Amino acid sequence: MKRLLCYAHFDANGEVRPFVLHALQAMSGLCADAVFISNSPITTGDRKNLSSFCSKILVNNNTGYDFYMWKMGMEAANLSEYDEVILMNSSVYGPLFDMEEVFSRMNRLDCDFWGITECFQMQPHIQSYFLVFRKNVISSPVFLNFWGGILPYLNKLQVIQSYEVGLTQWLVESGFKAGVLCPLEQLGRHCRETGKRLRKKDNSSVKHASELLHIGIPLLKRDAVRNRKVDMEAVTPFLQRYGYPEHLINEHSQQKTLKCPLCSSPGKLAYKGVRDFLNLHDNERYDYCRCSSSACGVLWRNGDNGIAPPVVVAPASNVQHDLDSAILPAALKKLPPGAILEIGGDRGERLLKLRELGWDVTGHAEDAATATLLNNLNIRVMPQSVSDASAEFGLFDCILVTHGLEQTVNPLAFLAGCHRMLNQGGKLFLRTPNANSLLLRIFKTYWFGFNAPRNRVIHSNKSLKMALVTTGFDEVKLSSSTLIASEYAHRSIEILFNKWTSPAAGQAVKKFLPLALMVVELLGRLLTRMCGEEYAVSATKNEKAR
């Protein structure tokens, strides 16, 4: 039996980790040739180590995910020379034991291609972290046409829908028989015997990783370890039984990757898979973590690289943006007119009204579109980054931050920049979403306040006070607003149902359900403090220069 292994690899740090070399070594006894394809740079040392197990080493330009890498691997080989082709990727640890017995077992099964586990999300399919295709499949035009049409998609969900799900569907519809090492029925029996709950739509390779090890599955999904879906104390006996080196599975100790951007305390994943509900073409999912420190409690977007996402214009809000709305603080009307800077403003409407009242207005704009809009309104523009701003641009008597703090990757630098631009005794007013919102607890990943991926750091009342005091402000006053709960509830419901409510059908939802939720929130506020949708904060620059 002559087999070809195509191994797809990616590592964010550009490393070929020891568990990858172990997997290649374990598979080398079964395969005549191995092609290693990486979406990461390969160092000279790693290339030397790989050459012991791989006949060819290819480096891709980090596009297309594993399916495009597998396409490259098969194109680099003559498939007609092989009886079987194995596709594997670096999303799994293992094999935990000799794969010869797995192949012997599957050779007795009447199938044309097979994998380890099956999944019923979207459409029934064999999960692609380990796939085996036999001679009649790899020599067929159906198989070759599928791989010939593979495109280097940049979106992971699109790859799953089109290729992982599509491959099984395409081959089955073409008359080939699919097989799986662990059918869902077998996993279901084990779960029932052990009192576990198995749902048909579960991603069993991650959610039921422990149960799969009990059944005798030789691979362990890294996501199960990384996201703590598997108890490592329960995994260790299997590793010891099979002789798999325990030090190769080390991601469960990488708590340092979840580090609070505000206080540097460890955090944990709190909301997984938040969608961008403004840009409907963005199919990515975003994860938000929560700081574990009781003195902070901030939410932040995991994996933020500091690069600002594309600007997307938000849909028109139902909130009236005037001086009597919940957006502007009432205290602002009591101040004598002076120089004011607005950061994160919507369309210059508030600045126009403030100018009518005698204020010398300036708007902040980091992008050309906002600068053009403000210039057309004859409003002075501050183009530089707030974090880098200095007093040389001019000092202000008041700075108004409307939904700008949560979109910066470094809140402390942002607030320090505001502090530098204020006159002594100057006022800072800001509004920002509430990480302790009651509606967040109700809607979870569908909460309007996430505004993913633009909102990077969502504050709690404790983190806001800590950040303001740290950057030199005093007289910090903070309140939680429930006045726009209806707006947040309406938008959250639209996200939940994945559609904008129509003018006709959405009237009941738009009027009555948000109102009911607002009543619930108002009642909740009597029991728990600071649970509104947004915080309204005022602070004063103290008399001591920083």
Model confidence at 329, pLDDT cuts 50, 70, 90, reads low
Give the β-pairing of 360-364 and 380-382: parallel
Interatomic CA distance for residues 28 and 171, integer angstroms: 27
Helix ranges restricted to H, 471-535 = 485-496, 507-527
For residue 514, the model assigns a pLDDT of: 57
ω into residue 95 within 30 of 0, thus cis?
yes
Least confident of 165-169, 191-195, 279-283: 279-283
Give the tens place of pLDDT for each residue, 39-68: 999 999 999 999 999 999 999 987 788 999
Model confidence at 505, pLDDT cuts 50, 70, 90, reads very low
Helix ranges restricted to H, 51-163 = 65-75, 100-107, 135-138, 141-148, 156-159
Every domain of the chain with CATH number 3.90.550.10 lies at 3-183
Model confidence at 497, pLDDT cuts 50, 70, 90, reads confident
523 has a pLDDT exceeding 90: no
Q: Which two three-digit tokens encode residue 491?
A: 């938008």
For residue 372, the model assigns a pLDDT of: 85
Model confidence at 334, pLDDT cuts 50, 70, 90, reads confident
**pLDDT (mean) for 268-290:** 84
For residue 386, the model assigns a pLDDT of: 85
Average pLDDT taken over every residue of the chain: 84
For residue 382, the model assigns a pLDDT of: 85
Interatomic CA distance for residues 464 and 121, integer angstroms: 40
For residue 308, the model assigns a pLDDT of: 45
Every domain of the chain with CATH number 3.40.50.150 lies at 330-541
Q: Which two three-digit tokens encode residue 444?
A: 């979870």
Residue 532 is which amino acid? G
CATH assignment, 3-183:
3.90.550.10
Interatomic CA distance for residues 250 and 151, integer angstroms: 33
Model confidence at 515, pLDDT cuts 50, 70, 90, reads low
Interatomic CA distance for residues 406 and 16, integer angstroms: 36
330-541 topology per CATH: Rossmann fold (3.40.50)
Instruction: Count the Cβ atoms, other than its own, within 10 Å of residue 240.
Output: 10
Interatomic CA distance for residues 464 and 411, integer angstroms: 9
For residue 481, the model assigns a pLDDT of: 66
Question: Of all residues in the chain, what percent carry a pLDDT higher than 70?
Answer: 84
Give the 3-state secondary structure of residue 116: strand
For residue 252, the model assigns a pLDDT of: 56
Give the tens place of pLDDT for each residue, 185-203: 999 999 999 888 888 888 8
Q: With beta carbons less than 8 A apart as the criterion, state whether 130 and 180 touch.
A: no
Q: Which residue has the higher pLDDT, 121 or 539?
A: 539
CA distances from 315 to 49, 312, 343, 346, 495 (A): 53, 9, 19, 11, 13
Q: On the CB side of 504, how many CA atoms lie within 13 Å of its CA?
A: 0
Give the tens place of pLDDT for each residue, 299-327: 999 876 554 444 443 333 333 333 444 44
For residue 32, the model assigns a pLDDT of: 96
| Nearest CA among 131, 117, 127 for reference residue 212 | 117
For residue 316, the model assigns a pLDDT of: 35
